[in-house]
Chains A and B, each alone.
Chain A
Amino acid sequence: MSDKAKAKAEDEAVTIPAQSDGSTGGATLTEDAAPGETLLKVTGLQKHFPIKKGLLQRQVGAVRAVDGIDFEVRSGETLGVVGESGCGKSTMGRLITRLLEPTAGTVEFEGKDITHLGVGGMRPLRRDVQMIFQDPYSSLNPRHTIGTIVSAPFKLQGVEPEGGVKKEVQRLLSVVGLNPEHYNRYPHEFSGGQRQRIGIARALALNPKLVVADEPVSALDVSIQAQVVNLLDDLQQELGLTYVIIAHDLSVVRHVSDRIAVMYLGKIMELADRDLLYKSPMHPYTKALMSAVPIPDPARRGAKSERILLKGDVPSPISPPSGCRFHTRCWKATQICKTTEPPLKELRPGQQVACHHPENFEDQAPQDVVLLSDAKEAAELVAEDALAESARTSAAVAAEAVAAEAAAPEAEGAEAAKSTEAAKRTETAKKGTKDAKSTEGTESAEEEPPAKEK
């Protein structure tokens, strides 16, 4: 009861976002974080689902769905989260919306720790954090009309929008591109794309600050997918929304995101600005993931030279591999990958990577050169061209870094300490640049595969 009263009191105190004009809505509210400020901060977040067995239901193990992740979402941006199925991306989405209770770690929303807030404590926040679900068929109650579904948030939060609930719902329906007269229809009367729009209208009802979308377009047809992607884009610009978009489709994620987190077995492998990630991915897993996306260009058919095939399947999250979780499938894995878990480090401004032997960058553990037997097997699946190219770029980047350090002697302490070590490697790195130069010709040829094919 007291919670409810508190919530109500807050209702009265705060301007109800839904009441404001809508098109400018959230952005004009004074309490909003300015664009670029941290809206959501996640530290060491974990979620282990217990596995129980036997008569006494004793816990015999745990599925480590999310196993210690850190990231921030800045106000006004879109963070994309990609990964294979079972990597914990959906669990992560449910943790930050507090639909699941984290095992450990903290979630901060607008500087406030919301990790262990109860149902009542979360209620006022619910209007700021909304979710769009994957399946537009199961996320709408078939026995409720669209009007009831979209007005539910107002009812639950006890908000009475200006002009009445019905008018507001109809406005929302037109915002997402549906006919407001369909207010009294049932979900089955709509197509998949339209249902997803209903889900979006519901999420927008209370003018949230953060919208977590879990695979918002994967259940839709291609032509409809584009409509919904564009709609999300427009809404973000109009309403100043912040998105966390979880998806497995790398091309969709690239299209919608500003920054992208790549997850593997409950960990973030790489977190980087979109362009950096797609132009020069550092984590071998990111690279493999991207090379696996089929390119809709018949001229590239069978261009295996660019493809990195990963061997086998994702290991079980019940007992994830030691050290770096990707070492069992990585073609660059060495002893250190097996024993030491690489931290998520910012190797380049705007690009955090958890890898000992990153691509497109200098090696983080150059002393360790002996490949694991697993890695040798994995490397057989990687086209030689891809291997050669990766070695070349790494060397070139390393050389660049050395040159930059030499040019800027006031480099930071940590880097200065490294520079002596780096200097030793200048020799080899220089060799690398020479190699890179000599192969520049082939590189440009690779950029135009049709020419190469013919």
Chain B
Amino acid sequence: MTDTSKSGAAVGEPTGSSAAPSAFLEVRDLKVHFPTDDGLVKSVDGLSFQLERGKTLGIVGESGSGKSVTSLGIMGLHTAGQYGRRKAQISGEIWLDGTELLSADPDHVRKLRGREMAMIFQDPLSALHPYYTIGQQIVEAYRIHHDVDKKTAKRRAVEMLDRVGIPQPDKRVDSYPHEFSGGMRQRAMIAMSLVNNPELLIADEPTTALDVTVQAQILDLIRDLQKEFGSAVIIITHDLGVVAELADDLLVMYGGRCVERGPAEKVFYEPRHPYTWGLLGSMPRLDRDQQERLIPVKGSPPSLINLPSGCAFNPRCPYADVPKDDVTRTVRPELTEVGSKHWAACHMSQEQRERIWTEEIAPKL
């Protein structure tokens, strides 16, 4: 966290005032870059968003768009040096409840991690330690932040397992992760992350490894628990269906940047970025009559080392030639407000996008 390299901050506009924001979580111009032999990988390149308590933010995007790197950045898990000796270069500001995390004392952040903010990982089998029982792992998470004896902590663990719907929690607390099914492991993970009543919960692809029936159970559980604990939730996924179920606000990422952000209804019903159109068009939907053909996005996601110049989406965008003067290939579009609390980064004019969406895209969905 102390390693706020300045190299990334050279690009882009100054971060403005560093006064504590009013929002519960505010991320300002976050950049996470990884130096590699092939060049600098700009996994996240200038991301800003806000989140209030009790609200859910959905982050969607393809693999490599920087979703998970963002979440690990917020949790402060990047500097551990898992990329060899080279560390991630992180810049920007992350304000959690009035504290700036990137410049804060690592010991202080360690106290917040797990207590104020917690994370549910995608693959519960690799996130849980195979050598310790589920109970031991939950007890550890609890006792790090609470000065209680083991018995009390274990009672708390049983209580949490019961809360997340694990049958016979007093017996299962002594089971090992391999004795649980995939859905139960994910429940145990959720129990562990919620044991300290965190105010911010980050769920990174929480249901990707699960079957639909189990996914429905877990999504319901996350929704209920959020209501109960009033936490702020960030849900990261590539599945627009999952996001539609949970999120109040939506952030669409492409090539390490936010291309569209706004209330879920706006982004689903009046999307204003061609990439969002592409995502909506490539998805077969159960709630609609059979589409004849899907409308895929052509090409494949860009390399984060050599992002296309101008708008990162321009090589795949069917409307790249709509704006004049080749501006899509030379100038990187900034987020502009296209509606109340709704931003999109596209060179096409508001009217052009509105027309394309209503006339060309929406009827085909």
Interface membership of chain B positions 279-297, coded 1 if the CB is closer than 8 angstroms to chain A and 0 otherwise? 1111111110011011111
A229 close to B (CB within 8 Å): yes
A136 to B281, CA, bound (A): 24
Instruction: Identify which of B62, B184, B215, B293 contacts A230 (C-beta below 8 A).
Output: B293
Q: Once bound together, how far apart are the Cα atoms of A229 and B215, in whole Å?
A: 23
Interface flag for B176 (CB, 8 Å): no
CB pair B212–A295 under 8 Å, yes or no, is no
A-side contacts of B84, CB under 8 Å: none
Q: Does B213 contact A (CB under 8 A)?
A: yes
Q: When the two chains form the complex, which single residue of A194, A294, A297 contacts B300, counting CB atoms closer than 8 Å?
A: A194
Q: Which of A252-271 contact B (CB under 8 A)?
A: 252, 254-255
The residue on A at minimum CB distance from B241 is A294
A413 CB–B CB distance under 8 Å = no
**Contacting pair B62 A223 (CB below 8 A):** yes
A222, B268: Cβ atoms under 8 Å?
no
Number of CB contacts from chain A to chain B under 8 A: 137
- Whether A296 contacts B213 in the complex (CB less than 8 A), given A224-B296, A224-B300, comes out as no
Q: Which of B183, B216, B283 contacts A307 (CB 8 A)?
A: B216
Complex CA distance for A251 and B282, rounded to whole angstroms: 11
Interface residues of A in 286-316 (CB under 8 A from B): 288-302, 304, 307, 309-310, 312-313
A85 at the interface (CB under 8 A from B): yes
Give Cα distance in the complex from A371 to B255, angstroms. 54
Contact A255 B290 (CB under 8 A): yes
Q: Does B105 contact A (CB under 8 A)?
A: no
Query: How far is B139's CA from A82's CA once the two chains are assembled, in angstroms?
Result: 39
- Which B residues are CB-close (under 8 A) to A254? 284, 286, 290
Which of B217, B242, B286, B291 has most A Cβ within 10 Å?
Answer: B286
Known: A226-B296, A250-B286, A294-B241. A309 touches B301 (CB 8 A): no
Q: Are A313 and B268 in contact (CB under 8 A)?
A: no
Q: How far is the CB of A222 from chain B (nearest CB, A)?
A: 5
CA distance A301 to B241 in the complex (A): 10
Q: Which residue of A lies closest to B64 (CB)?
A: A221
Q: Is B356 an interface residue (CB 8 A)?
A: no
Nearest to B264 among chain A residues (CB) is A298
Interface residues on A, range: 35 or more
- Kindly list chain A residues whose C-beta atoms are within 8 Å of the C-beta of B300: 191, 193-194, 224
Say yes or no: B246 contacts A278, CB within 8 Å. Answer: no
A415 CB to closest chain B CB (Å) equals 31
Residue B278 at the A interface, CB < 8 A? yes
Task: Check B167–A312 contact: CB distance below 8 A.
Answer: yes
Nearest neighbor of A290 in chain B, beta-carbon distance: B286
A8 beta carbon closer than 8 Å to chain B: no
Confirm or deny: B116 has a beta carbon within 8 angstroms of a beta carbon on chain A.
no
**A11 interface residue, CB < 8 Å from B?**
no
A38 contacts B by Cβ under 8 Å: no
- A224-B296, A313-B183 as given contacts; A292 in contact with B212, CB under 8 Å: yes
Q: Which of A191, A226, A251, A298 is close to B301, meaning CB atoms less than 8 Å apart?
A: A191
Interface residues of A in 215-267 (CB under 8 A from B): 221-227, 229-230, 233, 248, 250-252, 254-255
Task: Let me know if B244 is at the binding interface, CB within 8 A.
Answer: yes
Given contacts A226-B297, A255-B290, contact A313 B184 (CB under 8 A): yes
Q: Are B282 and A84 in contact (CB under 8 A)?
A: no
Residues on B with C-beta less than 8 A from A229 are 284, 294, 296
CB distance from B299 to the nearest CB of A (A): 9
Min CB–CB distance A437 → chain B (angstroms): 25
A82 to chain B, nearest CB (A): 9
Chain A residue numbers with a CB within 8 Å of B290 are 254-255, 274-275
Q: What is the chain A residue whose CB lies nearest that of B181?
A: A313
B240 in the interface, Cβ–Cβ < 8 Å? yes
**A313 cross-chain contacts in B, Cβ below 8 A:** 181, 183-184, 214
Q: Are A300 and B286 in contact (CB under 8 A)?
A: no
Convert B216-231 into 0s and 1s, putting 1 for each residue whose CB lies closer than 8 angstroms to a CB of A: 1101100100000000
| A221 lies within 8 A of B216 (CB) | no
Give the Cβ gap from A281 to chain B, nearest Cβ, in Å: 12
In the bound complex, residues from chain A placing their C-beta under 8 Å from that of B212 are 84, 248, 250, 289, 292-293
Cβ–Cβ contact B296 & A294, under 8 A:
no
Q: Which residue of A191, A251, A310 is within 8 Å of B285 (Cβ)?
A: A251
Query: With contacts A222-B238, A226-B281, A254-B284 known, is A294 near B245, CB below 8 A?
Result: yes
| A301 vs B268: C-alpha distance when bound (angstroms) | 12
> Residues 168-204 of chain B: 1 if any A CB is under 8 Å from the residue's CB, otherwise 0?
0000000000000111100000000000000000000
Complex Cα distance, B240 from A426, in Å, reads: 46
The residues of B that contact A85 with a CB separation of less than 8 Å are 182, 211
**Best-surrounded residue of A193, A230, A296 (most CB of chain B within 10 A):** A296
B2 interface hit (Cβ, 8 Å): no
Chain A: CB-nearest residue to B56 = A301
- The residue of chain A having its C-beta at the shortest distance from the C-beta of B275 within the complex is A223
B170 CB to closest chain A CB (Å) equals 18
Judge whether A294 and B216 touch: CB under 8 Å. Answer: yes
Tell yes or no: B140 within 8 A of A by CB: no
A310 to B210, CA, bound (A): 14
Interface string of B36-62 (1 = CB under 8 A from A): 000000000000000000000000001
Choice from A222, A300, A309 contacting B220 with Cβ under 8 Å: A309
Q: How long is the Cα–Cα vector from A315 to B251 in the complex, in angstroms?
A: 38
Inter-chain contacts of A226 with B (CB < 8 A): 281-284, 294-297
User: In this complex, which of A229, A250, A294, A302 has the most chain B Cβ atoms within 10 angstroms of its Cβ?
Assistant: A294
Chain A to chain B contacts (Cβ below 8 Å), 17 pairs: A222-B238, A225-B296, A226-B295, A227-B298, A254-B284, A254-B290, A288-B213, A292-B216, A293-B286, A294-B215, A294-B241, A294-B242, A295-B285, A296-B241, A298-B268, A309-B216, A310-B217
Q: Which residues in B have some Cβ–Cβ distance to A below 8 Å?
A: 62-63, 167, 181-184, 211-217, 219-220, 223, 238-247, 264-265, 268, 278-287, 290-291, 293-298, 300-301
For the complex of A and B, 3 pairs with smallest distance between CB atoms: A226-B282, A294-B241, A226-B296
Give residues in A with beta carbon < 8 Å to B: 84-85, 191, 193-194, 221-227, 229-230, 233, 248, 250-252, 254-255, 274-275, 278, 288-302, 304, 307, 309-310, 312-313
Known A-B contacts: A293-B286, A296-B243, A300-B287. Give 14 more (CB < 8 A): A222-B239, A223-B282, A224-B62, A226-B296, A230-B293, A255-B291, A292-B215, A294-B239, A298-B244, A298-B247, A301-B245, A301-B246, A307-B216, A310-B217
